[in-house]
Amino acid sequence: MDGINYEKLAASFFRRKNVLKIASELPGKLLVTRFGASETIGRIVELEAYNGVLDRASHAFGGRRTARTEPMYAAGGIAYVYLCYGIHHLFNLVTGEAEAPQAVLIRGIEPVKGIPIMLERTGKSKADSSLGRGPGNVSKAMGISTLHSGWSLLNNDIFIADDGYKVPQQKIITGPRIGVDYAGEDALLPYRYYIKDNPFVSRVKKNK
DNA sequence: TTGTAGATAGTCT
DNA sequence: GACTATCTACAAT
C-alpha cells in the first residue's frame, strides 16, 4: 500500500526467550501505528533491552509486580507504555514468555510515512532530526500514550513490520544504556542497540 | 555550538 | 508523601 510493502511480525518473533536476540534483530524494522485514518510509520533506529527480574534497570527487577508493570509479565507481542517525568510516554515491546518480564524500549525512530501527522502531533513545523529522536518523542510522534499499554502488537492498530530493509551488521552498534546510572553495574551492560551514523539516534555528545 | 536548569504527574510505600 | 525519569528553552562562548 502506498508503495511500501511490509509484513507484520508474528507472535513467534516476540515470544523467543532471548530478549537480546530479538533486540539485535529490531534495528531497521518498522513501527506502524494506525489510529483511525492516520497511519504513521517509523523505522526503528535505536532501542534498549530490559532483561526481566535480573535487570536492575527494569521496572520488574526482583520480581516486582504491580498494576503498572502487569503487561511485562504477559507473553511477548504486546505493548508496555509507561509515563516518565509526568510528560513523556515511553513505548516498550514486551518479549519472551508469560511470567518472564522482558521488554525492549524503543528509543529512536526515523520517520518513514505520515510525517505531516507526526508534525501535527509534536507541534513542530518541519521534519528535523529531533522528530523521532528520544523515547519521549517517539511515542509522541507515533501517537502512542499510556492508554495503549497492554495492547496487542498483532492487531492493526500498533504493530512491528519488516519491509525487507537490512541494516549492515557493521552498522549495528551495541553499548551501555542511557539514563540508567542508578542501575549500578547493570548500567554497563551492552543492552543498547543503535544504527551507526543515523541522525535519529540520540548522541551523548555532538562531534564534528 | 555546548552546557545547565526547570518542569510534571502517575505509581508505590 | 516520596520517588522516578527526559525534553525544551535559554544563556554563554
Per residue in A94-140, pLDDT (tens digit) is 999 999 999 999 999 999 999 999 999 998 888 888 898 989 999 99
Task: Determine the protein residue whose CA lies at the shortest distance from the C1' of C7.
Answer: A136
The pLDDT of residue A185 is 65
Q: What is the DSSP string of A140-165?
A: HHHT--GGGTT-BSSSSSEEEEE-S-
Residues A134-177: tens digit of each pLDDT = 899 999 999 999 999 999 999 999 999 999 999 999 999 998 87
Q: Which residue has the higher pLDDT, A202 or A103?
A: A103
First to last CA, chain A: 39
A66, pLDDT greater than 50? yes
Please check whether strand B approaches the CB of A207 to within 7 Å. yes
Assess whether A122 (CB) lies less than 7 A from strand B.
no
Residue nearest to nucleotide B11 (CA to C1'): A68
For range A179-188, the mean pLDDT: 62
Predicted confidence (pLDDT) at residue A204 exceeds the cutoff of 60? no
Q: Inform me whether the pLDDT recorded for A1 exceeds 60.
A: no
Statement: residue A2 has pLDDT above 90: no
A84, closest nucleotide (Cα–C1'): C5
**Alpha helices by DSSP H, chain A:** 11-14, 19-25, 115-122, 135-142
Separation of alpha carbons A83 and A171, rounded Å: 31
Q: Which of A46-60, A116-130, A190-204 has the lowest mean pLDDT?
A: A190-204
Which strand B bases fall within 7 angstroms of a protein CB?
A: 1-3, 7-13
Confidence of residue A183 (pLDDT cuts 50, 70, 90): low
Residue A115: all three cell numbers together: 510525517
Task: Give the pLDDT confidence of A4-50 residue by residue, as tens digits.
Answer: 899 999 999 999 999 999 999 999 999 999 998 899 999 999 999 99
On whether the pTM is more than 0.75, the answer is: yes
* Residue A206 pLDDT > 80: no
pLDDT of residue A41: 95
> Do A59 and A70 meet the contact criterion of CB atoms below 8 Å apart?
no
Q: Is the Cβ atom of A147 within 7 Å of strand B at any atom?
A: no
Give me the mean pLDDT over the A68-96 stretch.
94
